[in-house]
A and B are shown apart, each in its own frame.
Chain A
Amino acid sequence: MFAYIIRRVLATIPVMAVVALFVFSLLYIAPGDPAAVIAGDQATPADVERIRQSLGLDRPFLVRFGEWVWNILNGDMGVSIFTNLPVTTMIKQRIEPTLSLMVLTLILAVSIAVPMGVIAAWKHGTWIDRCVMGFAVLGFSVPVFVVGYVLAYIFALELDWLPVQGYTAFKEGLFPWLENLVLPSIALGGVYIALIARITRATMLEVLQQDYIRTAKAKGVGQRSILFLHALKNAAVPIVTVIGIGMALLIGGAVVTESVFAIPGLGRLTVDAILRRDYPVIQGVVLLFSFVYVLVNLLIDLLYTLFDPRIRY
């Protein structure tokens, strides 16, 4: 197992290298010029060129790429073209809100979606099943920002229970931290809950048809034990897989959610950097997201062994 983990961690290196080359190349060929953004309307072409030179944007692709990779290997993600701050500092400033939002969404989604899916499978064909599936369709269909605005209208503007926007760091206290994250997490979690609930239901339906479930019932095992101990454990592998794949959904959704609720996270940092063509920041954040995604998938692979002892690496 340990050797497997080491192998998988090492395998992330070529993946990250490909991602790095891909991101760098895309940015190189994409239209846009940060020097023109900085210079503003009143600058002459000579001024823009001088800024471009001072930023090193006039150098050949390979030189810039080589230098960037070398710096990354030395733990230096570069400096933002606009803010003059190290990219690592900017990421550090933004990582807590995004991490908080994603973890809370994940907890919320799993704790709601899995029981929903299990109950829908158990009550298959009844109104409960149809309600759960109806919610799942709704969760998939309504965009995150619409859910966000509706929640803000009801719970912030009308009821005044929660704030409209912003983020309070965890160190300021659990309540203020939660207060700012409840609405964004629900908004972001909608799609995720729908996805997990549907997969849980489908997998549970399949498992509940198995012979060993019939045997358990015949032996007089209680309904709760059958559902949560016998069936759910055997349905866990596909559910965990979807949770892992869904991380990409969360990362994408976080960009919109952070904008709607003005949360200072990595999603907004990415959008702002793209709009201004702040290349070092875009490269740094995309690389980080890729790394997290690869790691989450590794974690999911390792979790398989917990749920299904037949799986060995």
Chain B
Amino acid sequence: MISRRAVLASPLLAAPAFAQQAGARALRVVPQSNLTSLDPVWTTAVVTRNHGFMVYDQLCAQDAGGTIRPQMAEGWLEEDGGRSLTFTLRAGLKFHDGERVTAADCVASIERWRRRDPFTQVLWPRVEELTALDERRFRFRLKRRVPLLIQALGQTQFPCFIMPARIAATDAFQQIREAVGSGPFRFLTNEWNPGQAASWAQFDGYVPRAEAVDGLAGGRIPRLDRVEWTVISDPATAANAMTTGEQDYWEYPLHDLLPLMRRNRQLVVEQRLLDGTYGICRFNTLHPPFDNPAIRRAVAMAVDQRDYLRAVAGEDPAGWGVCEGVFTCDTPLASEAGSEVLKTHNLDRAKAALAAAGYKGEKVVLVAPSDYPQINALSLVTADIIRRLGMNLELVATDWGSLIQRRASKEPVEKGGWSIIHTTSSGQSLTQPVTHLFLRANGANAWFGWPDDPEVERLRNAWTDAADATEGKRIADDLNRQAMQLMAYVPLGYYWQPSVWRRNVTGVFKSPVTAFWNIGKS
């Protein structure tokens, strides 16, 4: 039988452009979603952050073990009892426009980034001054020692990317117009077709560190001429494209299609990302029935995380894990102190607790995003629990865009409000109190659902000032205990998101984000 590839190989039929593409070492990638914005400060979209890791570099970066190591920085010097922190840049760093990277660029980039990063916003009141000392050195003057500052600068969740000062001067709430960084790949603006394609080319002027790659730390060596993203919104089509070899790497394959991918010997299916994705069931604490913490706890008693995780990630227990606490499991602050309520897993006991809590048949509006498969699955499992508990449920199926507007409403359900929503979060964000969005309980300023609990807030602040790791862990235990009492949200465990790549893709390494340096193609 004559195959298409045999026909295309014929010099008569192959167009010149085809031949050029075939010659370049290009990695063809199906990204998790559409790259709509190029500004990793303006939007928190993960796909934009992944683009950021290609184009920009960081002062310091997280290794596979979670330690922050120097990246653009040669190192940093702590003086004056920790009240002065001076960074020195490595020599020879250049932006994609040919300009040298200077300390002034770093200061401008930090100034823009810190206006949007919630972690740094907590720490910034302790910063007295940030100034460039010369071409390669800049200094933080602090009111007192802030050990978490390095962690904030090297974080992965909301990375501090360095861009030219002229671009970083853009207001943090306005989108930048150019993607010029000093990272290992150059963004090819003229090839960007939002919703379809985005391409990057190797940056010849990049100066990688000499160390071996280790998570996001170490040498970020670009081994590909080009990285080409093609947005394929339909998972079945993406799976077919991987099977036929039209694409080389699929970042977020649908869990349902993993068995199919695993059966193909040309494909590798592996857990590349270091963090699991955590499910969250959030209550609106402003209105009945969930303004009553006892009712929230009663619902939590009926929850068995395994049901949720099977619904999202399938029957294979290797694809998910139970985590019955508020902090990411297997990290230093992980705790199950006071988590007994989550270990009940019993509908009858939950029903009894619900009756004892004084539930009077108030309507529960659960909003589910039908265009978001994972969150929709979590929502439907909760809906089933609420129904089986005998609560008065109204399940509203909508799209994600409508949900994120509706969740901002503080009105009662009769006026367009909501009772329960679900979301997911990277395990990274839940490792410590300052980055843990769902733990906040500062009323009107808390995340949607607006829980108000001064004790949670006190403990959160106390952790930031903890003298050492032991004290930090003790406070984290107290926080978990208090969070279980408050039950502003029910943790639903975590699932892994494997990636798929063709067997001829080499050098794929474990990392907290999908990064493409060090990767080659044979």
CB distance from B156 to the nearest CB of A (A): 14
Chain A residues with CB under 8 Å of B240's CB are 152-153, 156-157, 164-165
Digitize B382-413: 1 where CB-to-A-CB distance is under 8 Å, 0 elsewhere.
00000000000000001111101110100000
CB contact between B1 and one of A50, A157, A159 (< 8 Å): that residue: A159
> For the side of the interface on B, what is the size category?
35 or more
Given contacts A156-B244, A262-B237, contact A38 B42 (CB under 8 A): yes
Contact residues in A for B17 (Cβ distance below 8 Å): 172-173
Residues of B near A153 (CB, < 8 A) are 240
A264 at the interface (CB under 8 A from B): yes
Judge whether A160 and B244 touch: CB under 8 Å.
yes
State A200–B18 Cα separation when bound (angstroms). Answer: 42
Interface of B is mostly: loop
Closest chain A residue, CB of each to CB of B6: A160
**A157 CA to B236 CA in the complex, in Å?**
12
- Chain A residues, Cβ within 8 Å of B231: 262
A44 to chain B: which residues have CB within 8 Å?
118, 445
Residue of A nearest to B371 (CB): A275
Contact partner of B402 (CB less than 8 A), chosen from A31, A173, A261, is: A31
Stretch at the interface among A3-11, A80-88, A297-305: A80-88
On chain A, which size bracket covers the interface?
35 or more
Q: Give every chain B residue within 8 A of A276 (Cβ-Cβ).
A: 36, 401
Q: Which residue of B lies closest to A31 (CB)?
A: B402
- A33 & B404 in contact (Cβ 8 Å cutoff): yes
Which B residues lie within 8 Å of A163 (CB)? 4, 244, 246
Is A54 part of the binding interface, using a Cβ–Cβ cutoff of 8 Å?
Answer: yes
Q: A34-65 toward B: CB 8 Å interface, digit per residue (1/0)?
A: 00111111111101101100100000000000
The answer to whether A172 and B423 touch across the interface, beta carbons within 8 angstroms, is no
Q: Is A198 an interface position by the 8 A CB rule?
A: no
Is the C-beta of A280 less than 8 angstroms from some C-beta in chain B?
A: no
A42 touches B4 (CB 8 A): no
- Collect the chain A residues with CB atoms within 8 Å of residue B236's CB: 149
Interface centre among B171, B244, B425 (most CB of A within 10 A): B244
- By beta carbon, the residue of chain A nearest B231 is A262
* Shortest distance from the beta carbon of B20 to any chain A beta carbon, whole Å: 11
Contacts of B38 in A (CB 8 A): 84
Chain A positions 144-202 with a Cβ under 8 Å from a chain B Cβ: 149, 152-153, 156-157, 159-166, 172-173, 175-176, 179
Instruction: Identify which of A39, A160, A269 contacts B44 (C-beta below 8 A).
Output: A39
B122 CB to nearest A CB, Å: 12
Question: Does B522 interact with chain A (Cβ within 8 Å)?
Answer: no
A83 CA / B174 CA spacing, docked (Å): 12
In the assembled complex, the CB of B178 is this many whole angstroms from the nearest CB of chain A, namely: 10
Residue among B34, B158, B177, B196 having the largest count of chain A Cβ atoms under 10 Å: B196
- Complex Cα distance, B15 from A172, in Å, reads 6
A308 touches B (CB below 8 Å): no
A90: interface (CB < 8 Å)? yes
Complex contacts, A165 vs chain B, CB 8 Å = 230, 232, 237, 240-241, 246
Option from A32, A85, A172, A262 in Cβ contact (under 8 Å) with B18: A172
Q: Pick from A90, A149, A166, A175: contact of B246, CB below 8 A.
A: A166
Contact A173 B15 (CB under 8 A): yes
| A33-B404, A41-B425, A262-B230 as given contacts; A164 in contact with B1, CB under 8 Å | no
From residue B240, how far is it (CB to closest CB) to chain A in Å?
A: 4
In contact, A262 and B241 (Cβ under 8 angstroms): yes
A37 contacts across to B, CB distance below 8 A: 401, 404
**Cβ-defined contact, A260 with B405, below 8 A:** no
Enumerate 28 A-B pairs (CB-CB under 8 Å) in ascending A order. Answer: A31-B402, A31-B406, A32-B401, A37-B404, A38-B37, A39-B43, A41-B423, A54-B171, A54-B173, A82-B43, A83-B36, A83-B37, A94-B195, A156-B244, A160-B244, A162-B4, A163-B246, A165-B240, A165-B241, A165-B246, A172-B17, A259-B233, A259-B237, A262-B233, A272-B36, A275-B399, A276-B36, A277-B401
CB-based closest 8 A-B pairs? A40-B44, A264-B196, A173-B15, A82-B36, A164-B240, A32-B401, A33-B405, A31-B402
* A residues apposed to B, CB below 8 Å: 31-33, 36-45, 47-48, 50-51, 54, 80, 82-85, 90, 93-94, 149, 152-153, 156-157, 159-166, 172-173, 175-176, 179, 259-262, 264, 268-269, 272, 274-277
